[in-house]
Structure 1
Amino acid sequence: MEDVKFGFAAMKELKKSVLYQTLEKCKSVFWFVFWFSSAINILALFLPLYTSQVLDRVLSSGSASTLAMLSIVTISALACSALLDVCRSLTMAKVADWIDRETTPDLIVRAISLTSMKGSSTSGDVIRDLGTVKGFITGVGIFSLFDMPWAFVYLVAIFMIHPVTGCIAVVGIVLLVLMAVWNEMATKRVMQESTEENVRNIGYIDVASRNAEVVEAMGMIKHIVTEWSKRNDQNRSLQVKAQGGQTLFWG
Protein backbone atom coordinates (compact mmCIF):
# COMPACT_ATOMS: atom_id res chain seq x y z
CA MET A 1 0.00 0.00 0.00
CA GLU A 2 2.92 2.35 0.70
CA ASP A 3 4.19 1.68 -2.83
CA VAL A 4 0.79 2.62 -4.19
CA LYS A 5 0.76 5.88 -2.22
CA PHE A 6 4.30 6.70 -3.33
CA GLY A 7 3.47 5.88 -6.92
CA PHE A 8 0.38 8.09 -6.81
CA ALA A 9 2.38 11.02 -5.36
CA ALA A 10 5.16 10.53 -7.91
CA MET A 11 2.71 10.44 -10.80
CA LYS A 12 1.01 13.57 -9.49
CA GLU A 13 4.33 15.44 -9.48
CA LEU A 14 5.13 14.07 -12.93
CA LYS A 15 1.85 15.26 -14.44
CA LYS A 16 2.20 18.64 -12.73
CA SER A 17 5.70 19.26 -14.09
CA VAL A 18 5.02 18.11 -17.66
CA LEU A 19 1.66 19.88 -17.89
CA TYR A 20 3.05 23.07 -16.35
CA GLN A 21 5.86 23.20 -18.90
CA THR A 22 3.38 22.69 -21.72
CA LEU A 23 0.91 25.31 -20.48
CA GLU A 24 3.78 27.79 -20.12
CA LYS A 25 4.19 27.61 -23.90
CA CYS A 26 0.49 28.42 -24.37
CA LYS A 27 0.53 31.74 -22.49
CA SER A 28 0.31 33.85 -25.63
CA VAL A 29 -2.68 31.83 -26.87
CA PHE A 30 -4.46 32.21 -23.54
CA TRP A 31 -3.94 35.98 -23.69
CA PHE A 32 -5.34 35.91 -27.23
CA VAL A 33 -8.43 34.04 -26.00
CA PHE A 34 -8.75 36.48 -23.09
CA TRP A 35 -8.98 39.44 -25.47
CA PHE A 36 -11.48 37.51 -27.58
CA SER A 37 -13.54 36.96 -24.43
CA SER A 38 -13.29 40.66 -23.59
CA ALA A 39 -14.61 41.61 -27.02
CA ILE A 40 -17.45 39.08 -26.69
CA ASN A 41 -18.48 40.50 -23.32
CA ILE A 42 -18.34 44.09 -24.59
CA LEU A 43 -20.51 43.21 -27.58
CA ALA A 44 -22.96 41.41 -25.28
CA LEU A 45 -23.67 44.76 -23.62
CA PHE A 46 -25.30 45.97 -26.82
CA LEU A 47 -28.50 44.02 -26.12
CA PRO A 48 -29.40 45.67 -22.77
CA LEU A 49 -28.33 49.04 -24.19
CA TYR A 50 -30.59 48.42 -27.17
CA THR A 51 -33.50 47.64 -24.86
CA SER A 52 -32.95 50.77 -22.77
CA GLN A 53 -32.64 52.98 -25.85
CA VAL A 54 -35.83 51.58 -27.36
CA LEU A 55 -37.74 52.19 -24.13
CA ASP A 56 -36.29 55.67 -23.52
CA ARG A 57 -36.00 57.16 -27.01
CA VAL A 58 -37.85 55.19 -29.67
CA LEU A 59 -41.15 54.82 -27.81
CA SER A 60 -41.19 58.49 -26.85
CA SER A 61 -40.18 59.83 -30.28
CA GLY A 62 -41.84 57.19 -32.44
CA SER A 63 -38.92 57.35 -34.88
CA ALA A 64 -38.85 54.28 -37.12
CA SER A 65 -35.46 55.24 -38.57
CA THR A 66 -33.90 55.33 -35.08
CA LEU A 67 -35.35 51.92 -34.30
CA ALA A 68 -34.04 50.51 -37.58
CA MET A 69 -30.54 51.90 -37.01
CA LEU A 70 -30.40 50.63 -33.42
CA SER A 71 -31.60 47.21 -34.58
CA ILE A 72 -28.97 47.00 -37.34
CA VAL A 73 -26.16 47.98 -34.97
CA THR A 74 -27.31 45.54 -32.27
CA ILE A 75 -27.77 42.63 -34.68
CA SER A 76 -24.33 43.30 -36.16
CA ALA A 77 -22.78 43.36 -32.68
CA LEU A 78 -24.45 40.08 -31.71
CA ALA A 79 -23.36 38.48 -35.00
CA CYS A 80 -19.76 39.55 -34.35
CA SER A 81 -20.03 38.20 -30.82
CA ALA A 82 -21.23 34.82 -32.11
CA LEU A 83 -18.41 34.72 -34.68
CA LEU A 84 -15.80 35.52 -32.03
CA ASP A 85 -17.27 32.85 -29.77
CA VAL A 86 -16.87 30.26 -32.53
CA CYS A 87 -13.28 31.40 -33.14
CA ARG A 88 -12.57 31.19 -29.41
CA SER A 89 -13.93 27.64 -29.18
CA LEU A 90 -11.97 26.52 -32.25
CA THR A 91 -8.80 28.08 -30.84
CA MET A 92 -9.13 26.21 -27.54
CA ALA A 93 -9.85 22.99 -29.43
CA LYS A 94 -6.59 23.48 -31.35
CA VAL A 95 -4.78 24.18 -28.07
CA ALA A 96 -6.13 20.96 -26.56
CA ASP A 97 -5.04 19.02 -29.64
CA TRP A 98 -1.57 20.58 -29.49
CA ILE A 99 -1.23 19.80 -25.78
CA ASP A 100 -2.20 16.20 -26.51
CA ARG A 101 0.42 15.85 -29.25
CA GLU A 102 3.16 17.61 -27.29
CA THR A 103 2.51 16.15 -23.84
CA THR A 104 1.36 12.56 -24.29
CA PRO A 105 4.65 11.07 -25.61
CA ASP A 106 6.68 12.73 -22.85
CA LEU A 107 4.19 11.63 -20.20
CA ILE A 108 4.25 8.03 -21.41
CA VAL A 109 8.06 7.88 -21.49
CA ARG A 110 8.42 9.37 -18.02
CA ALA A 111 5.60 7.27 -16.59
CA ILE A 112 7.13 4.04 -17.90
CA SER A 113 10.55 5.04 -16.56
CA LEU A 114 9.04 5.87 -13.17
CA THR A 115 7.16 2.58 -13.13
CA SER A 116 10.31 0.58 -13.86
CA MET A 117 12.30 2.40 -11.17
CA LYS A 118 9.75 2.72 -8.37
CA GLY A 119 7.23 0.02 -9.15
CA SER A 120 4.40 2.52 -9.51
CA SER A 121 1.05 1.04 -10.44
CA THR A 122 -0.72 4.21 -11.56
CA SER A 123 1.07 5.06 -14.80
CA GLY A 124 -2.12 4.58 -16.83
CA ASP A 125 -3.77 7.41 -14.92
CA VAL A 126 -1.70 10.05 -16.71
CA ILE A 127 -3.57 9.52 -19.98
CA ARG A 128 -6.96 9.66 -18.26
CA ASP A 129 -6.00 12.82 -16.39
CA LEU A 130 -4.70 14.41 -19.57
CA GLY A 131 -8.09 13.69 -21.12
CA THR A 132 -9.70 15.49 -18.18
CA VAL A 133 -7.50 18.53 -18.82
CA LYS A 134 -8.39 18.49 -22.51
CA GLY A 135 -12.08 18.26 -21.63
CA PHE A 136 -11.77 21.31 -19.39
CA ILE A 137 -9.92 23.32 -22.04
CA THR A 138 -12.47 22.54 -24.74
CA GLY A 139 -15.48 22.93 -22.41
CA VAL A 140 -17.33 25.96 -21.10
CA GLY A 141 -15.54 25.96 -17.73
CA ILE A 142 -12.41 27.70 -18.95
CA PHE A 143 -14.47 30.37 -20.73
CA SER A 144 -16.15 31.16 -17.41
CA LEU A 145 -12.72 32.03 -16.02
CA PHE A 146 -12.09 34.43 -18.89
CA ASP A 147 -15.57 35.95 -18.52
CA MET A 148 -15.40 36.33 -14.73
CA PRO A 149 -13.71 39.79 -14.65
CA TRP A 150 -16.55 41.18 -16.75
CA ALA A 151 -19.12 40.35 -14.10
CA PHE A 152 -18.25 43.65 -12.41
CA VAL A 153 -18.79 45.54 -15.67
CA TYR A 154 -22.22 43.96 -16.05
CA LEU A 155 -23.00 44.84 -12.45
CA VAL A 156 -22.17 48.49 -13.11
CA ALA A 157 -24.33 48.39 -16.24
CA ILE A 158 -27.25 47.01 -14.21
CA PHE A 159 -26.85 49.82 -11.67
CA MET A 160 -26.86 52.34 -14.53
CA ILE A 161 -30.17 50.94 -15.77
CA HIS A 162 -31.73 51.22 -12.30
CA PRO A 163 -30.30 51.18 -8.74
CA VAL A 164 -32.99 48.78 -7.51
CA THR A 165 -32.14 46.14 -10.11
CA GLY A 166 -28.47 46.65 -9.24
CA CYS A 167 -29.13 45.99 -5.56
CA ILE A 168 -31.12 42.87 -6.44
CA ALA A 169 -28.20 41.65 -8.56
CA VAL A 170 -25.73 42.26 -5.69
CA VAL A 171 -27.92 40.34 -3.25
CA GLY A 172 -28.19 37.47 -5.74
CA ILE A 173 -24.40 37.37 -6.21
CA VAL A 174 -23.79 37.36 -2.44
CA LEU A 175 -26.29 34.53 -1.94
CA LEU A 176 -24.72 32.45 -4.71
CA VAL A 177 -21.23 32.96 -3.26
CA LEU A 178 -22.40 31.99 0.23
CA MET A 179 -24.13 28.89 -1.12
CA ALA A 180 -21.01 27.89 -3.05
CA VAL A 181 -18.79 28.31 0.03
CA TRP A 182 -21.24 26.42 2.22
CA ASN A 183 -21.49 23.63 -0.35
CA GLU A 184 -17.69 23.39 -0.56
CA MET A 185 -17.33 23.18 3.20
CA ALA A 186 -20.08 20.57 3.49
CA THR A 187 -18.87 18.24 0.73
CA LYS A 188 -15.09 18.77 0.61
CA ARG A 189 -14.22 16.14 3.21
CA VAL A 190 -16.53 13.52 1.70
CA MET A 191 -15.23 14.17 -1.83
CA GLN A 192 -11.64 13.91 -0.61
CA GLU A 193 -12.38 10.60 1.11
CA SER A 194 -14.07 9.32 -2.04
CA THR A 195 -11.08 10.27 -4.19
CA GLU A 196 -8.61 8.63 -1.82
CA GLU A 197 -10.74 5.49 -1.64
CA ASN A 198 -10.92 5.34 -5.43
CA VAL A 199 -7.12 5.62 -5.66
CA ARG A 200 -6.73 2.79 -3.16
CA ASN A 201 -9.18 0.64 -5.14
CA ILE A 202 -7.28 1.23 -8.38
CA GLY A 203 -4.01 0.41 -6.63
CA TYR A 204 -5.52 -2.77 -5.19
CA ILE A 205 -6.59 -4.00 -8.63
CA ASP A 206 -3.27 -2.96 -10.20
CA VAL A 207 -1.34 -4.98 -7.62
CA ALA A 208 -3.56 -7.99 -8.25
CA SER A 209 -3.14 -7.61 -12.02
CA ARG A 210 0.65 -7.48 -11.76
CA ASN A 211 0.56 -10.74 -9.83
CA ALA A 212 -2.20 -12.35 -11.91
CA GLU A 213 -0.46 -15.73 -12.26
CA VAL A 214 0.09 -16.08 -8.51
CA VAL A 215 -3.46 -14.93 -7.74
CA GLU A 216 -4.96 -17.43 -10.18
CA ALA A 217 -2.72 -20.28 -9.00
CA MET A 218 -3.71 -19.72 -5.36
CA GLY A 219 -7.41 -19.47 -6.21
CA MET A 220 -7.70 -15.94 -4.81
CA ILE A 221 -9.66 -14.41 -7.68
CA LYS A 222 -13.02 -14.74 -5.93
CA HIS A 223 -11.59 -13.27 -2.73
CA ILE A 224 -10.11 -10.31 -4.62
CA VAL A 225 -13.39 -9.65 -6.43
CA THR A 226 -15.30 -9.80 -3.14
CA GLU A 227 -12.83 -7.49 -1.41
CA TRP A 228 -12.87 -5.03 -4.30
CA SER A 229 -16.69 -5.05 -4.32
CA LYS A 230 -16.71 -4.12 -0.63
CA ARG A 231 -14.25 -1.29 -1.27
CA ASN A 232 -16.20 -0.12 -4.30
CA ASP A 233 -19.49 -0.15 -2.37
CA GLN A 234 -17.88 2.04 0.27
CA ASN A 235 -16.61 4.41 -2.40
CA ARG A 236 -20.05 4.58 -4.05
CA SER A 237 -21.68 5.39 -0.73
CA LEU A 238 -19.26 8.29 -0.28
CA GLN A 239 -20.02 9.54 -3.79
CA VAL A 240 -23.77 9.31 -3.22
CA LYS A 241 -23.38 11.20 0.06
CA ALA A 242 -21.39 13.96 -1.63
CA GLN A 243 -23.80 14.21 -4.56
CA GLY A 244 -26.74 14.29 -2.16
CA GLY A 245 -25.19 17.23 -0.33
CA GLN A 246 -24.68 19.09 -3.61
CA THR A 247 -28.26 18.37 -4.67
CA LEU A 248 -29.58 19.90 -1.45
CA PHE A 249 -27.75 23.13 -2.29
CA TRP A 250 -28.27 23.39 -6.03
CA GLY A 251 -31.30 21.20 -6.73
Structure 2
Amino acid sequence: MDMQLSGRVAVVTGASKGIGLAVVRTLLDEGVRVVATSRKPTPDLDALAGPNLRHVPVDLMDPDAPAQIIATAVAEFGALDILVNNAGGPPPGVTLPRTSFLDAGDEEWRDVFEFNLFSVVRTIRAALPHLIERGGGSIVNISSVNARQPSSMNVDYGAAKAALTNMAKVVAVEFGSQGVRVNTVSPGPVRTAWWTDEGGVADIIAERAGSDRDTVMDSLVPEMMGLVTGRLVDPQEVADAVVLLASPRSAGTTGADLAVDGGYLKAV
Protein backbone atom coordinates (compact mmCIF):
# COMPACT_ATOMS: atom_id res chain seq x y z
CA MET A 1 0.00 0.00 0.00
CA ASP A 2 1.28 3.46 -0.93
CA MET A 3 1.14 5.59 2.24
CA GLN A 4 1.17 8.77 0.10
CA LEU A 5 3.94 10.21 2.27
CA SER A 6 6.77 10.71 -0.21
CA GLY A 7 8.30 14.20 0.00
CA ARG A 8 6.64 15.12 3.29
CA VAL A 9 8.55 16.42 6.30
CA ALA A 10 8.37 14.84 9.76
CA VAL A 11 9.77 15.45 13.22
CA VAL A 12 10.24 12.40 15.46
CA THR A 13 11.28 12.82 19.10
CA GLY A 14 13.01 10.10 21.11
CA ALA A 15 14.31 8.81 17.79
CA SER A 16 17.58 7.10 18.64
CA LYS A 17 16.28 3.66 19.63
CA GLY A 18 13.22 1.51 20.20
CA ILE A 19 9.90 2.77 18.88
CA GLY A 20 11.30 6.11 17.75
CA LEU A 21 14.06 4.49 15.70
CA ALA A 22 11.54 2.15 14.06
CA VAL A 23 9.31 5.13 13.21
CA VAL A 24 12.23 7.02 11.65
CA ARG A 25 13.29 4.01 9.60
CA THR A 26 9.74 3.40 8.36
CA LEU A 27 9.16 7.05 7.44
CA LEU A 28 12.43 7.16 5.53
CA ASP A 29 11.38 4.02 3.65
CA GLU A 30 8.21 5.89 2.65
CA GLY A 31 10.22 8.78 1.22
CA VAL A 32 9.68 11.17 4.13
CA ARG A 33 12.31 13.74 5.09
CA VAL A 34 12.87 13.34 8.82
CA VAL A 35 14.26 15.47 11.63
CA ALA A 36 15.08 12.96 14.38
CA THR A 37 15.73 14.17 17.90
CA SER A 38 17.34 12.57 20.94
CA ARG A 39 19.85 13.57 23.57
CA LYS A 40 22.55 11.82 21.58
CA PRO A 41 22.74 9.67 18.44
CA THR A 42 23.18 5.90 18.43
CA PRO A 43 24.94 3.62 15.94
CA ASP A 44 21.54 2.38 14.75
CA LEU A 45 20.36 5.92 14.03
CA ASP A 46 23.69 6.84 12.43
CA ALA A 47 23.26 3.86 10.09
CA LEU A 48 20.20 5.60 8.59
CA ALA A 49 22.18 8.73 7.66
CA GLY A 50 21.39 10.28 4.29
CA PRO A 51 20.02 13.40 2.63
CA ASN A 52 16.52 12.83 4.05
CA LEU A 53 17.61 12.55 7.69
CA ARG A 54 18.79 15.26 10.05
CA HIS A 55 19.58 14.50 13.71
CA VAL A 56 19.08 17.28 16.27
CA PRO A 57 20.63 16.55 19.69
CA VAL A 58 18.36 18.08 22.33
CA ASP A 59 17.20 17.41 25.86
CA LEU A 60 13.42 17.78 26.03
CA MET A 61 13.67 18.65 29.72
CA ASP A 62 14.87 22.03 28.36
CA PRO A 63 11.77 24.19 27.75
CA ASP A 64 13.45 25.81 24.73
CA ALA A 65 14.19 22.51 22.97
CA PRO A 66 10.80 21.96 21.24
CA ALA A 67 10.88 25.31 19.43
CA GLN A 68 14.46 24.59 18.37
CA ILE A 69 13.46 21.23 16.90
CA ILE A 70 10.57 22.61 14.86
CA ALA A 71 12.62 25.58 13.65
CA THR A 72 15.34 23.20 12.46
CA ALA A 73 12.86 21.09 10.50
CA VAL A 74 11.44 24.13 8.71
CA ALA A 75 14.91 25.57 8.04
CA GLU A 76 16.31 22.27 6.75
CA PHE A 77 13.37 21.00 4.70
CA GLY A 78 11.16 24.05 4.20
CA ALA A 79 7.98 22.83 5.89
CA LEU A 80 6.41 20.51 8.46
CA ASP A 81 3.73 17.90 7.75
CA ILE A 82 4.07 15.29 10.51
CA LEU A 83 4.95 15.41 14.19
CA VAL A 84 5.54 12.19 16.13
CA ASN A 85 5.89 12.83 19.86
CA ASN A 86 7.56 9.60 20.88
CA ALA A 87 9.97 10.71 23.63
CA GLY A 88 8.77 9.57 27.02
CA GLY A 89 9.29 7.15 29.86
CA PRO A 90 11.67 7.81 32.72
CA PRO A 91 13.28 11.26 32.58
CA PRO A 92 17.09 11.49 32.70
CA GLY A 93 18.35 10.22 36.02
CA VAL A 94 15.08 8.50 36.98
CA THR A 95 14.79 4.74 37.34
CA LEU A 96 11.49 2.96 36.82
CA PRO A 97 9.52 0.91 37.73
CA ARG A 98 8.14 2.26 40.95
CA THR A 99 5.78 -0.11 42.70
CA SER A 100 3.85 2.16 45.06
CA PHE A 101 2.13 5.53 45.06
CA LEU A 102 4.42 6.46 47.95
CA ASP A 103 7.64 5.81 45.98
CA ALA A 104 7.66 9.24 44.29
CA GLY A 105 7.71 12.69 45.86
CA ASP A 106 6.88 16.06 44.36
CA GLU A 107 10.16 16.42 42.46
CA GLU A 108 9.81 12.98 40.86
CA TRP A 109 6.23 13.73 39.83
CA ARG A 110 7.28 17.07 38.33
CA ASP A 111 10.11 15.48 36.33
CA VAL A 112 7.87 12.74 34.93
CA PHE A 113 5.21 15.27 33.89
CA GLU A 114 7.86 17.59 32.44
CA PHE A 115 9.20 14.86 30.17
CA ASN A 116 6.02 12.97 29.29
CA LEU A 117 3.49 15.82 29.07
CA PHE A 118 4.90 19.34 29.09
CA SER A 119 7.57 18.65 26.46
CA VAL A 120 4.82 17.34 24.17
CA VAL A 121 2.62 20.37 24.86
CA ARG A 122 5.51 22.67 23.91
CA THR A 123 6.35 20.72 20.76
CA ILE A 124 2.75 20.74 19.56
CA ARG A 125 2.50 24.45 20.33
CA ALA A 126 5.61 25.12 18.24
CA ALA A 127 4.45 22.87 15.38
CA LEU A 128 0.84 23.99 14.97
CA PRO A 129 1.48 27.28 13.10
CA HIS A 130 3.59 25.44 10.52
CA LEU A 131 1.08 22.62 10.10
CA ILE A 132 -1.74 25.13 9.64
CA GLU A 133 0.31 27.14 7.16
CA ARG A 134 0.87 23.91 5.22
CA GLY A 135 -2.89 23.40 5.02
CA GLY A 136 -2.94 20.67 7.63
CA GLY A 137 -0.91 17.73 8.81
CA SER A 138 -0.74 14.90 11.30
CA ILE A 139 0.34 14.74 14.93
CA VAL A 140 0.80 11.30 16.49
CA ASN A 141 1.52 11.07 20.21
CA ILE A 142 2.89 7.94 21.85
CA SER A 143 0.97 7.41 25.07
CA SER A 144 0.64 4.15 27.02
CA VAL A 145 -1.95 1.59 28.02
CA ASN A 146 -1.28 2.87 31.55
CA ALA A 147 -3.22 5.98 30.53
CA ARG A 148 -6.34 3.84 30.30
CA GLN A 149 -5.58 1.10 32.86
CA PRO A 150 -4.62 2.66 36.22
CA SER A 151 -1.89 0.84 38.10
CA SER A 152 0.04 1.36 41.32
CA MET A 153 3.17 0.60 39.29
CA ASN A 154 4.55 3.87 37.89
CA VAL A 155 1.46 5.81 38.93
CA ASP A 156 3.10 9.16 38.09
CA TYR A 157 3.94 7.95 34.58
CA GLY A 158 0.42 6.63 34.04
CA ALA A 159 -1.09 9.92 35.21
CA ALA A 160 1.13 11.91 32.82
CA LYS A 161 0.15 9.66 29.92
CA ALA A 162 -3.54 9.95 30.80
CA ALA A 163 -3.18 13.72 30.64
CA LEU A 164 -1.39 13.37 27.29
CA THR A 165 -4.20 11.27 25.82
CA ASN A 166 -6.80 13.75 27.05
CA MET A 167 -4.88 16.74 25.69
CA ALA A 168 -4.51 15.11 22.26
CA LYS A 169 -8.28 14.78 21.89
CA VAL A 170 -8.76 18.44 22.79
CA VAL A 171 -6.20 19.59 20.21
CA ALA A 172 -7.82 17.31 17.62
CA VAL A 173 -11.17 19.01 18.14
CA GLU A 174 -9.85 22.58 18.17
CA PHE A 175 -7.64 22.33 15.08
CA GLY A 176 -9.43 19.70 13.02
CA SER A 177 -11.22 22.33 10.94
CA GLN A 178 -7.79 23.64 9.90
CA GLY A 179 -6.70 20.25 8.60
CA VAL A 180 -4.65 19.12 11.58
CA ARG A 181 -5.31 15.55 12.69
CA VAL A 182 -4.18 14.45 16.17
CA ASN A 183 -4.13 10.81 17.21
CA THR A 184 -2.56 8.71 19.94
CA VAL A 185 -0.92 5.31 19.88
CA SER A 186 -0.89 3.51 23.24
CA PRO A 187 1.61 0.66 23.38
CA GLY A 188 1.61 -2.08 25.93
CA PRO A 189 4.94 -3.59 27.01
CA VAL A 190 7.34 -3.23 24.06
CA ARG A 191 10.61 -5.12 23.73
CA THR A 192 12.87 -2.06 23.84
CA ALA A 193 16.07 -1.15 25.66
CA TRP A 194 13.99 0.00 28.62
CA TRP A 195 13.28 -3.70 29.18
CA THR A 196 16.31 -5.38 27.67
CA ASP A 197 19.27 -3.26 28.82
CA GLU A 198 21.40 -4.51 31.69
CA GLY A 199 19.81 -3.13 34.84
CA GLY A 200 16.57 -2.43 32.94
CA VAL A 201 13.02 -3.32 33.89
CA ALA A 202 13.41 -7.01 33.06
CA ASP A 203 16.42 -7.29 35.37
CA ILE A 204 14.62 -5.41 38.15
CA ILE A 205 11.58 -7.67 37.94
CA ALA A 206 13.78 -10.76 37.64
CA GLU A 207 15.61 -9.88 40.84
CA ARG A 208 12.36 -9.39 42.74
CA ALA A 209 10.80 -12.54 41.30
CA GLY A 210 13.86 -14.76 41.68
CA SER A 211 13.96 -15.29 37.94
CA ASP A 212 16.10 -14.20 34.98
CA ARG A 213 15.77 -11.52 32.30
CA ASP A 214 14.74 -13.79 29.41
CA THR A 215 12.12 -15.64 31.45
CA VAL A 216 10.66 -12.34 32.60
CA MET A 217 10.23 -11.06 29.04
CA ASP A 218 9.33 -14.34 27.36
CA SER A 219 6.78 -15.68 29.84
CA LEU A 220 6.48 -13.97 33.23
CA VAL A 221 5.41 -10.52 32.02
CA PRO A 222 3.11 -11.79 29.24
CA GLU A 223 1.38 -14.05 31.77
CA MET A 224 1.26 -11.40 34.50
CA MET A 225 -0.22 -8.79 32.15
CA GLY A 226 -2.56 -11.21 30.39
CA LEU A 227 -1.15 -10.49 26.94
CA VAL A 228 -3.38 -12.32 24.47
CA THR A 229 -0.52 -12.65 21.98
CA GLY A 230 1.66 -14.28 24.64
CA ARG A 231 4.60 -11.95 23.96
CA LEU A 232 5.84 -8.39 24.26
CA VAL A 233 5.11 -6.04 21.36
CA ASP A 234 7.81 -5.46 18.74
CA PRO A 235 8.77 -1.78 18.17
CA GLN A 236 8.08 -2.14 14.45
CA GLU A 237 4.47 -3.04 15.20
CA VAL A 238 4.03 0.28 16.98
CA ALA A 239 5.86 2.13 14.20
CA ASP A 240 3.54 0.67 11.57
CA ALA A 241 0.52 2.03 13.45
CA VAL A 242 2.17 5.44 13.82
CA VAL A 243 2.98 5.71 10.11
CA LEU A 244 -0.53 4.67 9.11
CA LEU A 245 -1.99 7.41 11.32
CA ALA A 246 0.51 9.92 9.92
CA SER A 247 -0.53 9.03 6.38
CA PRO A 248 -3.34 10.61 4.33
CA ARG A 249 -4.66 7.03 4.18
CA SER A 250 -6.01 7.84 7.68
CA ALA A 251 -7.57 11.13 6.64
CA GLY A 252 -10.84 10.22 8.37
CA THR A 253 -9.20 9.41 11.70
CA THR A 254 -8.58 12.07 14.33
CA GLY A 255 -8.94 12.16 18.11
CA ALA A 256 -8.47 8.39 18.20
CA ASP A 257 -6.40 6.32 20.61
CA LEU A 258 -5.04 3.12 19.07
CA ALA A 259 -3.80 0.42 21.44
CA VAL A 260 -0.90 -1.72 20.21
CA ASP A 261 -0.67 -3.79 23.35
CA GLY A 262 -0.73 -7.50 22.62
CA GLY A 263 -4.34 -7.64 23.84
CA TYR A 264 -3.62 -6.22 27.28
CA LEU A 265 -6.60 -3.84 27.36
CA LYS A 266 -9.85 -5.79 27.40
CA ALA A 267 -12.47 -3.26 28.45
CA VAL A 268 -14.98 -2.07 25.85
TM-score (norm 1): 0.31
More helix by share: 1
Larger radius of gyration: 1
Which has the higher relative contact order, 1 or 2, with Cα contacts under 8 A spaced 6 or more apart? 1
TM-score by length of 2: 0.30
Larger fraction in strand? 2
